[in-house]
Each structure stands twice: as C-alpha cells, then as structure tokens.
Amino acid sequence: MSPSSSSRDFAQHVGRFRWPLTAAELTDTSRCPACSTTLPAPVCPSCGLDLRHPAARELLAASTDAAAALEKRVQLIGQIRFEVAEAQAASEVAAQQRALEQVAARADEAERRVAAERRVAAERRAKAQAQAQRAAEADAARAAQAASQAAQAH
C-alpha cells in the first residue's frame, strides 16, 4: 500500500464487481475476488484484476475476516432461534404441567367430596337403621306389655 493509499477511497475504482453469494466464496482462492471467474493465472481473464498487487494479501485477509464474521452471524441467528424455541417449549411444558396439576387437584377434591358424601349417607342410613331398630324394639316391648296385661286381665 502506498503512503497515499491509506487516506483515499478506492471504492469508485472497483470496476466489475459481484457480491459473493456465500461466505465460502469469500475465501475461494481459485476464483477472482471481484467477479468470481475461475482464475487460471494471477490476473483475472474476465475483469483484469491483478492479484500480484501487494494489497492482494490484505484483500484475502479481509475476505477471510468477512467470511468468519458472516459465519459468526449465522451461528448467532441459529443460537437465537434455538434458544428461543427451547425456552418456548420449556414454557409450554411448564404450562401443561401446571394444567395437569390443577386437573389432578380438582379430581382429588372431587374424590374427597364424593367420599365425604358417601360417609354422610352411610351415617344417615346407620342412624335410620338404628332408629328403626329402636322403634321396632319399642313396638315389640309395647306389644309384649299389652299381651301381658291382656293375659292378666283374663
């Protein structure tokens, strides 16, 4: 690079240029970095870019850095998508677990209510049977007493 090169903008002199379609194209030394034509020699037969120039090494380094940055970008996009999907899945699983726990709690409560209602009904039946038994015993005692009184009166 010449001393005056560091402060000049050379983009206006780029000439024929094609943006690489992939990060791998940035580091493919078998193709011209400007137009992507296959390079049989250090000078591109299609666009004339002379890769014997001292800045060609710097161009390859910049291309390698750009490829690494693009790969890093792809990795970050993938990481974001993966981690967001993973968090959403975990959230959905947790929500489903909470819903299942609520359903189970309601089922347990319903079972407890049914069991309590059955106990109350059984207690009522037992009380009714006991009352009926006592009434039958009282009726039998009264009948026996009436029979005894009737026998004494005769």
Taking only the tens place, the pLDDT of each residue in 57-74 is: 999 999 999 999 999 999
Q: Is residue 148 part of a domain?
A: no
Residues 6+ apart with CB under 8 A from 29: 39, 60
Residue 15, pLDDT > 90, answer no
State what percent of residues in the chain have pLDDT above 90: 79
Please tell me the total count of domains within the chain.
1
d(CA 69, CA 98): 43
Q: Is residue 10 part of a domain?
A: no
Strand partners for 38: 31
Q: Which residue has the tokens 């970095």?
A: 33
Please, is 49 exposed, middle or buried when counting C-beta atoms within 10 Å of its C-beta (0-12, 13-18, 19+)?
Answer: buried
Per-residue pLDDT reduced to its tens digit, 88-119: 999 999 999 999 999 999 999 999 999 999 99
pTM strictly above 0.75: no
Domain that holds residue 139: 15-143
* Per-residue pLDDT at 6: 61
66 SS3 class: helix
* Per-residue pLDDT at 7: 63
Q: What is the DSSP letter of 22?
A: S
Half-sphere exposure of residue 59: CA atoms within 13 angstroms, side-chain side: 16
Ranges of beta strands (E only) in the chain are: none
Q: Is residue 153 part of a domain?
A: no
Lowest mean pLDDT among 36-45, 64-73, 125-134, 142-151: 142-151
Which amino acid, 37? T
Give the pLDDT band (50/70/90) at residue 131.
Answer: very high
Q: Is residue 6 part of a domain?
A: no
Q: Is residue 1 part of a domain?
A: no
| Through-space distance between the first and last CA atoms of the chain, rounded to whole angstroms | 149
State what percent of residues in the chain have pLDDT above 70: 95
Mean per-residue pLDDT, 125-150: 92
Q: Which residue has the tokens 């929500």?
A: 95
Which amino acid, 22? T
Residue 1, pLDDT > 60, answer no
Cβ of 32: how many Cβ atoms within 10 Å?
22
Q: Is residue 151 part of a domain?
A: no
Q: Is residue 8 part of a domain?
A: no
d(CA 63, CA 60): 5
Q: Is residue 149 part of a domain?
A: no
